[in-house]
Structure 1
Amino acid sequence: MIKFDTIYWLFLSPALLLYVYYRFRFKKNDAVPYAPLQYKKPARIRFPLRHVKLFIEALVLFAVFLALTEPHKLLERNMVIDRGLDIVMALDVSASMQAADFPPNRLEFLKKISSSFIERNNTSRIGVFIFARDVFSQTPLTTDHSILQDLIKGIGFAVIDHNESGGTAIGDAILAASDSLIKNKKEGRDQVLIIITDGENSHGVDPLLAAHYAKSKNIRLYVVGVAGEEPVPVYVDGSPYLTPSGETLITSLDDTQLKTIAREAGGKFYRAKNSKVLEQIFDELSRMERTPIEIKKLSDKISYVPHISIGIFLLFSIWLILDGFFIRRPMR
């Protein structure tokens, strides 16, 4: 349906009749055809050019009035902003994540499965934390997954100072991520916390207490262990990573503690040997409750003013051609 923003301009259109009457009645001799160089019996013109010109003038003026009314069409639709889950991913970036049992290293493997998870879970709000001894928020819950993908790509060994923040504080990561979910709680919408790590807790809050806290807030906790079966040395840029005692860091995954953390929170533990671990988590998430974040009524305004403007330009061009090439005004 066509609508008008300022329809009162059309009320001036009757004035066009007065304009046409004035031009037709009092301007009959305003132009004459070009005189031929030699006498020739003039051809009969059934419809004088001045009438065509007058008709075009009236059309142009009417089109101007019509454009001033801003005619447009509205296309309305309802859009569900989001019908997914609220998910926070806490990613371990400690020095041991440089171990190469997952080529090229654990951290790159973590980034790969995290990126795949975000790509496949595109209807959810997702937030990202990284942690070692300290916890850092990368982004709160958001549906802008392109930003999330860029953040994941930017995670690297040098993203934190390992001399200051070396270690693994799983408990602190659970608390920080849980608080982020709680602050953004949407009624009737399930919340999920995914911890991806390769080690035991070595700093901060007892992770079992943090897991119990998450459970008390109805946050579903999934713990993903990223490590091979055998202990491996850690190298950074081709050089061994040294502990404070000067020895090369050797890392392995004792999943006993991680299983206990998941069990305490009423969640699940997964050993990530390859990206298939995502399939298991997706199966779990598919059974959780999804509530729309927001339903918006959207209207797309399609304006007809550009089309009318083109018509005015074409008509005025024809008018100029008639006025300049075919009709000459007498000298006064």
Structure 2
Amino acid sequence: MIWENSSYLWFLLLLPVLYALYYWFRLQQRKKREKLFDDRLINQLRKNFWSTGDKVRMFSILAALLFFIIALAGPKIGTEVREIQRSGLNIMVALDLSRSMNAEDVRPSRLDKAKFEVNRLVNRLAGDRIGLIVFSGEAYVQAPITTDYSALRLFLDVANTDQMPVPGSNFQSAMERAIEVFDSVERQNASNVLLFIGDGENHGPDYDETLDQLTERGVTVFTVGIGTTEGGPIPIYDEQGRMTGYHRDRQSNTVTTRLEENTMRRIANSGGGEFYAIRSGSDNIEPFFARLDELERGEFSSQEYADYENRYQILLMIGLILFVIGLFFPDHLNRNSDN
């Protein structure tokens, strides 16, 4: 037996206190009667009083309180064995953290919008495993693939462009990290999905061969392009979060970053997935959620656990019966007096 709210059991200590108060009250009443009346008159006045009934009423009330307190504590008795099966997809999110993701042609910024959409994705998951790769000139596994969505949100929240030691965008490195992650997990007939999020600007080596390796492993690659074709400058902020200017090239010209939609679309087509464009703050990746529902989900784990059944209802019913007895049980009997 276990208790849901065992702290309520401390109220059981009140029962002997209540009984002691009752006993003291009866004793005081008897002493007052003895001072005012003699025994013969007391017996005559209390001729129909039934002391046994009075005791039954008292002990019924105390017993009712006993059962009420125990029911309030929530006793759980016995076990019910349940089997839980966890199934879902293997999803890796590759998020571009190059400084061009700070551009604000998509409000509030490309990166903030990307993180918002990934959070929406996490909120929709139920049993799927998800991980996070961040990349710029190099790629790193920010969060290993997991079903701990709270941890994933934490890693996503702290991701920013300042943490990346190498500038630029290296798509090949991000895809290589994805291959490593998918090779390290047991697939168990679950579909593997890579969600590639960025503005499409690649400054690394050719990634076609690496992309082919992903598809050969059965990974479906979806891409999300964030930005506009008109593009925008890349703001620079100081430590206090105040904008101090824009990034400039060696000729002191303001750098304009644009969405390379064709690049992101080609990656999705080669990876067997779809391309989604986010060109404004109101755009979203809702169609991607629908595609996930079409993919095959595998069984990750099967777990049996014992669950105790709550039995407070029985105790509560017994307590109610005893309480009614305590209220209505007679403590007087009609006795015919001899004439």
> Is TM > 0.5 for Structure 1 vs Structure 2?
yes
Alignment partners' CA distance in 1, 2:171 and 2:236: 23
- Segments of 5+ residues of structure 1 without an aligned counterpart are 6-30, 316-332
1:300 to 286, 299, 307: 307
1:151 to 125, 133, 155: 155
Cross-structure match for 2:89: 85
Q: Does 1:173 align with 2:180?
A: no
Cross-structure match for 1:193: 194
Give the 3-state SS of the residue equivalent to 1:172 in structure 2: helix
Cross-structure match for 1:106: 110
Aligned length, in residue pairs: 273
Give the 3-state SS of the residue equivalent to 1:194 in structure 2: strand
The code of the aligned residue for 1:281 comes to F
Q: TM-score, normalised by structure 1?
A: 0.68
The code of the aligned residue for 1:167 comes to G
CA gap 1:134/1:71 in 2 versus in 1, 3 angstroms = closer
Alignment partners' CA distance in 2, 1:224 and 1:96: 15
Cross-structure match for 2:232: 232
Alignment partners' CA distance in 1, 2:223 and 2:262: 12
Q: Does 1:141 align with 2:145?
A: yes
- Segments of 5+ residues of structure 2 without an aligned counterpart are 3-26, 238-242, 323-339
The code of the aligned residue for 1:106 comes to R
The answer on whether the counterparts of 2:93 and 2:195 sit within 8 Å (CA) in structure 1 is yes
The answer on whether the counterparts of 1:93 and 1:132 sit within 8 Å (CA) in structure 2 is yes
Alignment partners' CA distance in 2, 1:153 and 1:196: 16
- Percentage identity across paired residues of the two chains: 23
Instruction: Give the stretch that moved more between structures: 291-300 or 190-199.
Output: 291-300
The answer on whether the counterparts of 1:189 and 1:289 sit within 8 Å (CA) in structure 2 is yes
Instruction: Give the stretch that moved more between structures: 123-132 or 273-282.
Output: 273-282
The answer on whether the counterparts of 1:188 and 1:291 sit within 8 Å (CA) in structure 2 is yes
Q: Deviations over 1:230-286 (max 9, x none)?
A: 142211232212456755332123334434433443443333335655233233322
Cross-structure match for 1:291: 298
The answer on whether the counterparts of 1:96 and 1:249 sit within 8 Å (CA) in structure 2 is no
Alignment partners' CA distance in 1, 2:103 and 2:55: 88
Q: Does 1:206 align with 2:213?
A: no
Shift of 1:50: 10
Give the 3-state SS of the residue equivalent to 2:299 in structure 1: coil
Give the 3-state SS of the residue equivalent to 2:276 in structure 1: strand
CA gap 1:236/1:300 in 2 versus in 1, 3 angstroms = same
2:255 to 235, 243, 249: 249
The answer on whether the counterparts of 2:276 and 2:285 sit within 8 Å (CA) in structure 1 is no
The code of the aligned residue for 2:91 comes to I
Shift of 1:117: 2.0
Shift of 1:127: 0.9
Q: Deviations over 1:292-319 (max 9, x none)?
A: 32233343224669x98xx99xx9xxxx
Alignment partners' CA distance in 1, 2:278 and 2:58: 81
CA gap 1:54/1:71 in 2 versus in 1, 3 angstroms = farther
1:271 to 254, 267, 277: 277
The answer on whether the counterparts of 2:188 and 2:299 sit within 8 Å (CA) in structure 1 is no
The answer on whether the counterparts of 1:178 and 1:193 sit within 8 Å (CA) in structure 2 is no
Shift of 1:135: 1.7
The code of the aligned residue for 1:151 comes to F
Alignment partners' CA distance in 2, 1:141 and 1:173: 15
The code of the aligned residue for 2:213 comes to Y
Alignment partners' CA distance in 2, 1:213 and 1:261: 13
The code of the aligned residue for 1:89 comes to V
Alignment partners' CA distance in 2, 1:109 and 1:54: 69
Give the 3-state SS of the residue equivalent to 1:253 in structure 2: coil
The code of the aligned residue for 1:177 comes to A
Cross-structure match for 1:36: 34
The answer on whether the counterparts of 1:207 and 1:261 sit within 8 Å (CA) in structure 2 is no
Q: Deviations over 1:60-104 (max 9, x none)?
A: 9x99xx99xx871434444333x3211010100110011111022
Alignment partners' CA distance in 1, 2:127 and 2:269: 28
The code of the aligned residue for 2:125 comes to N
Q: Deviations over 1:102-156 (max 9, x none)?
A: 0222111211222222222344211112111122222222223233334333333
Give the 3-state SS of the residue equivalent to 2:267 in structure 1: helix
Alignment partners' CA distance in 2, 1:254 and 1:71: 61
Instruction: Give the stretch that moved more between structures: 178-187 or 296-305.
Output: 296-305
RMSD of the alignment, in Å?
A: 3.8
